[in-house]
Amino acid sequence: MSFNVPHAIVKREDYINRVIPFIGKNLIKVFTGQRRVGKSYLLFQIMEYLLEQDPQVAIVYINKEDIAFSAIKTAQDLHDFVMREKSTNSKTYVFIDEIQDIENFETALRSLLLHEDLDLYCTGSNAKLLSGDIAGYLSGRAIEIVVYSLSYPEFLVFHALEDSSQTLEVYLKYGGLPYLKNLKLEDAFVFEYLKNIYAAIAYRDIINRFSIRNVSFLEQLVLFFANNIGSLFSAKKISDFLKSQSINMASNQVQTYSEYLVNAFLIHRVSRYDLIGKRVFETGEKYYFENLGIRNALWGYRLEDRGKIMENVVHNHLLFRGYHVQVGNLGPLEIDFVAQRAGETLYVQVALTINETKTMEREFGNLKKINDNFPKMVITLDGFQGNTDEGIISMDLRSFLLS
């Protein structure tokens, strides 16, 4: 079955550079992430890279959102299609888009891995794609690369914009879904598009997949998270609050529905880490939106939410840069983010401004109480180019996002 790689692909170099070392290796390369963050175009980007190396390279492409592939419903269907379409005299590169829509897909992947003349790539819109039983079934023969909405530097490239405070404001308001480059950046167009993307995620990846009956509660829960970005909650606290608003749902159901939202990559759940006891707390987490544009389309872009939005975008940038992110607890004190990567730790506090003495003492004071030599940083909207405070860096948000 023939296909054409779309023209004028805007490259996302960070991701392609992470994939290149694994090209041709007997590992399944799995791209996961929220719908419409650009997973399909990353597959095209890899195809383009392969074609640049060898214009005659053999490629098999399956897109489960295309009716042309509707006959591929089961693992056996997938296996038979690939074996029928693959090259008989050279390595074939197989790309499968939205593989979670194929029943028992992991069985087919395991079987296809037995063929050394195949190189497998796939995408999925569910965080559980490689978890638990499936990961064990594939016996460590898969690597997962999570794809996020555009970072601020990527946003500038996609929209051909120069960095400025006004451009940052547009990014914070509309978020980084790649397709926005085709729309006029105005509320009427962007928010309508984003509401439709949210509806697709909610219905296809949550309501239909998990046969949810209480759709109204799910929508209220999403709005609750939109209003409470960066607040510390347990399922019981959320349940109790919603009951005070005449929305009744048991805490175990809140936990289940929250899990669905996380699995669909609509929100990120961040656990708390005890910096003294060196352990993860079992209860109490914070929640951040994968895409701030979707959050703002649902809840509104409000002046009083600037601190929450800023905290959300810092969290997302740390994820994009490959950090594992947790909330830090230091006795009664809180560190906004404890970010770990390759054995290194970065401590981050986020504040709209540190012009007030009390705010400055709190943000810098908490970091000063951490007894190690890893870098520490306070990020604000204020621009400041000067000395550190006992080694703690003060950095404005734009500089942080461009770093």
Nearest to 121 by CA among 207, 188, 28, 201: 28
Does this model's pTM top 0.75? My answer is yes
Cα separation values, 327 from 232, 256, 280, 330, Å: 9, 22, 10, 10
Contact 111, 79 (CB under 8 A): yes
Question: Can you give the pLDDT at residue 94?
Answer: 98
The beta-carbon contacts of 158-161 under 8 Å, at least 24 apart in sequence, are: 158/10, 159/185
pLDDT along the chain (403 residues), means of 10: 77 96 94 94 96 96 94 97 97 95 91 96 82 66 93 98 97 98 97 98 93 92 95 88 82 92 96 94 92 98 97 98 97 96 97 82 91 94 77 94 93
Helix axes 235-244, 251-263, angle to 10 degrees: 110
Buried b (16+ CB within 10 A) or exposed e, 133-162: ebbeebeeebeebbbbbbbbbbbbebbeee
Amino acid identity for residue 164 in this structure: S
Region class of 143: left (phi > 0), else alpha (psi between -120 and 50), else beta: beta
Question: Can you give the pLDDT at residue 132?
Answer: 55
In order of their start, the domains of the chain are: 13-146 (3.40.50.300), 152-402 (no CATH)
What is the rounded distance in angstroms from the CA atom of residue 100 to the CA atom of residue 123? Answer: 8
Question: Can you give the pLDDT at residue 240?
Answer: 86
Question: For the chain, what is the radius of gyration of the CA atoms?
Answer: 22
Question: Can you give the pLDDT at residue 131?
Answer: 63
Measured torsion, CA atoms of residues 57, 62, 63, 64, in degrees rounded to the nearest 10: -170
Contact 102, 77 (CB under 8 A): yes
Contact 39, 123 (CB under 8 A): yes
Look at the alpha carbons of 350, 146, 254, 200 in this order and tell me if their dihedral is positive or negative. positive
Nearest to 336 by CA among 270, 259, 395, 291: 270
Question: Can you give the pLDDT at residue 319?
Answer: 98
